[in-house]
Amino acid sequence: MKRIALFVLVLALVITGAAAAQDPIRIGLCAPLSGDAAMVGQSLVDGAMLAIDEFNAAGGIDGHLIEVYKEDDEQTPRVAANAVNKLIFEDNVVGIIGPVSSGCVLTGMEVAADGEVPMITPTGSGASITHLGNPWIARTQASDILMAGAITRYAVSDLGAKRVAVIFQSDDYGSGGGEVVKQILKDEFDMEPVAYEQFEPSALDVSAQVLNIKNADPDAIIMIMMYQQGALVARKVRELGMDTPLMGLGGLTNAKLFELGGDAVVGLANTQTFFADANKAAPASAEFITKFQAAFDGRIPDSNNAMSYDAARIMIEGLKHSYEKTGEFDTALIMEGIKSVTEMPLASGTITMDENGDANRDILIIGITENGGYELIK
């Protein structure tokens, strides 16, 4: 009888342990899954899910696997706020990866702060995002302060530009980046932009702005915009007979830029943290490229895939940090773990997170080749 009772007790403990091992870790993905920006949203999903699938295949944390909840933010700040609200207060996630655009990050991170849930944006680069005092936001994209600084120094120091024109889309991303470029020109080179033009992100005609730039006779044009608008501006620049070097930030890095802009974007330089060439990449980047191609039928990953993969990896570091301290997934400790990441080799570089949630590392300059591929410039 005692042996039977002991067997029942042991069986109960095994069943209880198995049940506990199956308790999921709920993580949200917030990205544009429909509309014009759906390609960028799918890049986030593909990159993040590669890291999450690896984590789950390895057994998770003591058997706790990640369960993913996806929400479409439609690349609209109001919708993003609602999507984050649902993930936190209905789906009960303990962390969110996304959104992708700075405007959506700014609204979503306010909700994340209200719910005290960590949020990591892979691509939101707006300078203000991590400098508004919100302790629940982090990013794997290099901030516009780093990106805009790197491209401005490249234009002046490497290309020898004396007359720099700036054109940007009039949202948080474009305006913030434009201000950084203007400030660095002034502070470091005692220069002012010879033209400083803006346009609505939805604009279909930028003729007036580009004509103003042509009349200013620049020897470099810095473009702070996403790839759709980048193709529009580049085509207009070339239509007006200008052969001025074009350059910009990471928002221009997308296969669609060449598809939309064709020869007009060949030679365009932009900042990046990731270069998709396994033969030239650092070991961690090369490993990611190989794994991504194996998972996605040989497709070459883009920078958004890489930064989303890194965002998931850093979120996982936060989960481990919390579990090691308490045996639970406490959101405050997860955030603490995210910001504790130091010199971690990842797909988009060796990252050290700072107290503001910024991922500091070296910035690359890449250029578009005649076949629509990329070459490493610097």
Domains of the chain: residue spans and CATH: 22-142+283-360 (3.40.50.2300), 145-272 (3.40.50.2300)
pLDDT on residue 13: 41
- pLDDT value at residue 312: 98
Quote the pTM value.
0.78
pLDDT score for 323: 98
pLDDT value at position 176?
Answer: 86
Contacting residues for 233 by C-beta, under 8 A, at least 6 apart: 167, 206, 209, 210, 223, 225, 246
Report whether 66 contacts 52 (CB < 8 A). Answer: yes
User: C-alpha dihedral over 56, 58, 60, 65, to 10 degrees?
Assistant: 20
Query: What is the three-class DSSP state of 25?
Result: strand
Indicate the DSSP class of residue 252: G
Euclidean distance between CA atoms 55 and 61, whole angstroms:
8
- Token pair 């936190």 is found at 88
> d(Cα 209, Cα 199) in Å, to the nearest integer?
8
Contact by Cβ (8 Å): 137, 109: yes
- Residue 102 contacts residue 39 (beta carbons within 8 Å): no
pLDDT in tens, 234-285: 999 999 999 999 999 988 988 889 999 999 999 999 998 888 888 888 899 9
Q: Are 93 and 28 within 8 A, CB to CB?
A: yes
Q: Which residue has the tokens 């506990």?
A: 20
Which distant-in-sequence residues (6+ apart) come within 8 Å of 259 by Cβ? Answer: 372
Cis before 201? omega within 30: no
Given a cut of 70, the residues of the chain with pLDDT beneath it are 1-21
DSSP-derived secondary structure for 29-80: EEE--SSTTHHHHHHHHHHHHHHHHHHHHTTTBTTB-EEEEEEE-TT-HHHH
Task: Decide if 112 contacts 59 (C-beta within 8 A).
Answer: no
- Interval 53-75: pLDDT, tens: 999 999 999 999 999 999 999 99
- pLDDT score for 2: 40
Nearest to 128 by CA among 149, 110, 145, 111: 145
What is the pLDDT, as a whole number, of residue 21?
Answer: 54
Contacts 24+ apart (CB under 8 A), 276-279: 276/300, 276/301, 276/302, 276/303, 276/306, 276/374, 277/376
pLDDT at residue 371, as a whole number: 87
Transcribe 266-310 into DSSP letters: TT-EEEES----TTTS-HHHHHHHHHHHHHTTTPPP-HHHHHHHH
Cα dihedral 377, 366, 154, 282 sign: negative
Measure the CA–CA gap between 42 and 98, rounded to whole angstroms: 11
Structure confidence at residue 1 (pLDDT):
39
State residue 327's pLDDT score. Answer: 96
Q: What is the pLDDT of residues 269-282, one digit of tens each?
A: 999 888 888 888 88
Contacts of 12 (CB under 8 A, 6+ apart): none
